Structure 1
């Protein structure tokens, strides 16, 4: 049964986190399986260059669609706290403003992407033989990006009002749809990269259709035309909190640009394909940790808005313990089964030889990343945009990008892979310091309800 918004402040924290995190984890699992299977299909049915092409294009589309994710998470933080404070009108107005901002910005970004497609693809690493399949994949996917942006925004709002089961279904539908359409368009109709792109775009629309139905018939947030009118104060608050997420995605995009170029310089197209496999495994293998983080956000946000700080502190501690345990199990699986995992994606002997070792190094610090993820999520849930932005950018922006730029000059391709666990260790240390200080000063010394 779904959790109502009021129950976020009443049910036991462990029970709440289970109800929020399990559906979130299942939804992320299906989304990750979708991306994983998509990569396997293009790798086995089209070729290893297709994996490299997808690795170039997806960061571009995710950067554009992350406008919706950013505005969704920023707005959902406001909505959770507004529902906790019993201010439903603010929650409605925030949701309406989210919709208008997401739609407008996504359309502008897509138009720019269409006009400057060659330049954008080259910037993101469509070098050499990667360029042709990347171009074939990019344009059809781009047309579906506004639907993806609206899905990302809507999904976070569904969680904010305490209905994670519907958010889970919204992630499962396009995942299954894309896998089925991949088989039809790539295998049966032999449409190659164009078919893979069509399947992806149609799956985005399927997700949008479900979320649109949810807000028409199942949501507590029944908005009217007046709620769609932009309010400067709400827009500013959504933007300041949403910028945290968009900045993170922007840094991820910059990281993708740097990685694709450095890998191409040091190892050619096949090294770009190696990272394509690793990046998919990062999204897939870490799904339970990301699910715990997603489940944590509305619980922490609602109780922070309700000034029940003891419950916020308990949700932080419990989420970190659960996520750390799951991350440790994942690392053990990667450590043992790296070789057979890689052979699922490709038969290319060069990629099979290089990827397992790289995969193990990239996942080496997985057991400690729970502190980093939950810590950054807490500050966002609490509406503290400054610390949230700082901690969100810590791994990729402050540590990983400089390490990737420096270490390969001395260690070659190995310098790229070793940069990941070093960045995780440094980012976790910084986040742990800020989170511990916040819990000692704000969540322990302040009485609930005051």
Structure 2
């Protein structure tokens, strides 16, 4: 398999390099997002719309624990990229070993606590009424597989830091395909309902872990660690934690957002309104896959060249990534504005035999979701600057500005808006909070990114 080595991150033309990094990342994110999307379609058609709402309730908890692995992965991978750019291989290996140890310690602890407080967490995240029982079934099974998900997320970022995006892409495709296959067997063939959906997801996590484990044992990986690399190093742990906290905080805010949204929408319209947000939530994960792919491709390029002090290449990578991501975001925007009704209908069952409650829920969702979707994605064309700008600070190891800019959209703007606007505008206030927070966060990020580039990337030193 043709692959990009870490040294090529500092030599190939930026445009070509970004395509090599971003296309596999985008494909991987697309397949993973399609997995979530099709999984929701399967669940909606084979179990019911309440089941989609139940999964949406569980996602914040399982994703947060899985995000611990991603946080450790992204934080450590920033160090690895810069260490490889600076030709410090031993530091890269020590960082990877510390990432593995931290991921195991933290996620297993969180799973234990997640199971201990199951009766409190599910209702707190909106698992009320008819949603509670299916949500509890799904949550209990999926939580056992979350440590595998965390290891996958951690390992995947390290694969990218090595400059091997195609392997990272495969790591994202395998669990998605496995999950969908298991969905068909467990839900459609065996009729296991929510338990079948949960076991399909858990097996998908394990398949991803098995592939990542195989990759690091193979000759394709540069990260050949020994047992001594697993011993925690205080300085590295502190740096991994500081940078990883940016990702963790972002995921934590996502979980808090789900909690707030599910409760606000439940109070506004009950289970049907939560089902509307469940569909929109899936599209927020799925539709922006090319933009997130460009962001993922940008991170190792910026980090490696910053570590190598090739500042002109860093500048070029920022500008190119923003242009590519903005183009992709605009294409997504056009599609969502034109076809929200068709998209919504994909998630809803066409079964002839449905209860009165299911029929009422379906009618409500068909009526309300398309308009809500248009408002939620109204500012999509401008989000590229916000995503790339926040990612840049993380790539170069500046944890505090990376944290503040990452939290700006949902933490500083969206959550206050969604708590305030519905009091005056009702349901519309919920959906308007999305584009307003996108606009404000983009303006703030653009200001700080421009200032940072003008201050720190003025001269590329001669070597």
Q: TM-score, normalized by length of structure 1?
A: 0.99
- SS of aligned partner of 1:113: helix
Q: CA–CA distance in 2 between the matches of 1:99 and 1:202? A: 21
2:184 paired residue number: 183
CA displacement at 1:449 relative to structure 2: 4.9
Between the aligned partners of 1:424 and 1:3, the Cα distance in structure 2 is 34
Name the SS for the 1:268 alignment partner: helix
Give deviations 1:7-36, integer Å, cap 9, x for gaps. 100001011101000000000000000000
- What is the 5 A alignment of 1:5-44? 5-44=6-45
Q: CA deviation at 1:253?
A: 0.8
Q: Give the structure 1 partner of residue 460 of structure 2.
A: 447
Q: Match for 1:367 among 377, 381, 385?
A: 381
Aligned residue in 2 for 1:291: 293
Question: How many pairs align?
Answer: 449
Work out which of the residue numbers 291, 306, 320 in structure 2 matches 1:304. 306
Instruction: Give the superposition deviation at 1:382.
Output: 0.4
What are the within-5 Å matches in structure 2 for residues 109-148 of structure 1?
A: 109-148=110-149
Counterparts of 1:56 and 1:213, CA distance in 2: 33
Contact 1:308 1:449 in 2 (8 A): no
1:162 alignment partner, SS class: coil
**Residue 433 (str. 1) matches residue 447 (str. 2):** yes
Give, in whole Å, the separation in 2 of the partners of 1:28 and 1:206.
16
2-side partners of 1:415 and 1:206: how far apart?
A: 41
Distance 1:282 1:341 in 2: 13
**Which residue does 1:410 correspond to in 2?**
424
Judge conservation of contact 1:71–1:153 (CA < 8 Å) in 2. Answer: yes
Pairwise CA distance, 1:446: 2.8
Gaps of 5+ in 1: none
Correspondences of 1:38-437 after superposition (within 5 Å):
38-217=39-218, 218-347=220-349, 348-437=362-451
Q: Alpha-carbon deviations, 1:186-231, whole Å to 9, x = none?
A: 0000000000000000000000000000000121010000100000
CA deviations 1:324-364 (Å, max 9, x no partner) are: 01101110000111101100101411101100000011000
Rounded to whole Å, the distance in 1 between the matches of 2:119 and 2:366 is 31
The unaligned stretches of length 5 or more in structure 2 are: 350-361
CA contact (8 A) 1:306 1:449 kept: no
Distance 1:393 1:281 in 2: 21
Instruction: Point out the more displaced range, 312-321 or 343-352.
Output: 343-352
Instruction: Tell me by how many angstroms 1:447 deviates.
Output: 2.4
| Higher alpha-carbon deviation: 192-201 or 340-349 | 340-349
Match of 1:3, SS?
A: coil
- In structure 2, distance between residues paired with 1:328 and 1:226: 48
Query: Alignment RMSD, CA only?
Result: 0.7
Distance apart, 1:59 and its partner CA: 1.3
Question: Do the aligned partners of 1:307 and 1:449 also contact (CA within 8 Å) in 2?
Answer: no
Change (3 A) 1:198 1:407: same
Q: TM-score of the superposition, structure 2-length normalised?
A: 0.96
Q: Give the C-alpha shift of residue 100 in structure 1.
A: 0.3
